[in-house]
Amino acid sequence: AQTVTQSQPEMSVQEAETVTLSCTYDTSESNYYLFWYKQPPSRQMILVIRQEAYKQQNATENRFSVNFQKAAKSFSLKISDSQLGDTAMYFCAFMKQTNNNDMRFGAGTRLTVKP
Amino acid sequence: NAGVTQTPKFRILKIGQSMTLQCTQDMNHNYMYWYRQDPGMGLKLIYYSVGAGITDKGEVPNGYNVSRSTTEDFPLRLELAAPSQTSVYFCASSYLAIPEAFFGQGTRLTVV
């Protein structure tokens, strides 16, 4: 079974600075996807960024980028120029690329951006 | 453009009561999922479905049942509610060709 571990329950960052959230995973699969989801107080789950395991290039979406280390099974999220609206729970997730698309989540990191 | 719709948004149940959480998606996704999120925790997979008529257990299926009679609908049934089922429940859907799960707004369930 796949497991996803987020070792930082809470983090904080000053507005406009950079913060990195950590995620490790365990799998025997070769083909899979990794995700970072954001959950603001509204409770809605919002996709932040996605990485395909077969791609060596790290995914980037505006101020959000990842450091994907496949051999180390590590998938960290870097948020640059942090904004107050980035305050939320962040979940790392793993999805098998098979016919069941099973998706598993980490326990989450609560990020607070301070003014 | 509704996406994934869950009803109700909030519910209080007494111990031993039954209820069905409804989930509908209008994106013609073949995969659908039910997750529960306990306070301060990540999402845990209860059940999932890869298409109409096909369902399978996730990590925490005990106390729940599902059915998938159509592509659009994936209801979650609680037969005998217990305090341990107090949680926020999320329905999600995805498509094989698009590796991303789309989530509903969640249902906050309290069992007293």
Question: Would you state the structure tokens that stand for residue A7, as one six-digit string?
Answer: 């070792």
pLDDT for the residue A18: 98
Amino acid at B66: V
In the predicted model, what is the mean pLDDT of chain A?
92
Q: With CA atoms as reference, report the closest residue to A80 among A17, A5, A27, A3.
A: A17
Q: Which of B103, B105, B107 to mutate to test the interface with A (most CBs of A within 10 A)?
A: B103
pLDDT for the residue A99: 59
Q: Which residues of A touch B33 (CB under 8 A)?
A: 103
How far does A59 lie from chain B, in Å, by closest CA?
14
Q: Which of A68-72, A108-112, B38-42 shows the lowest mean pLDDT across its residues?
A: B38-42
pLDDT for the residue A100: 62
Interval B82-100: pLDDT, tens: 999 999 999 999 887 667 8
Distances B100 to A78, B79, B111 between C-alpha atoms, Å: 20, 31, 31
Rounded to a whole number, what is the largest CA-CA distance in chain B?
42
Interval B26-66: pLDDT, tens: 999 999 999 999 987 889 999 999 899 999 998 899 999 99
- Chain B residue with Cα closest to A45: B103
Q: Which of B57, B100, B107 to mutate to test the interface with A (most CBs of A within 10 A)?
A: B100
**Contact state of A43 with B94 under an 8 Å Cβ cutoff:** no
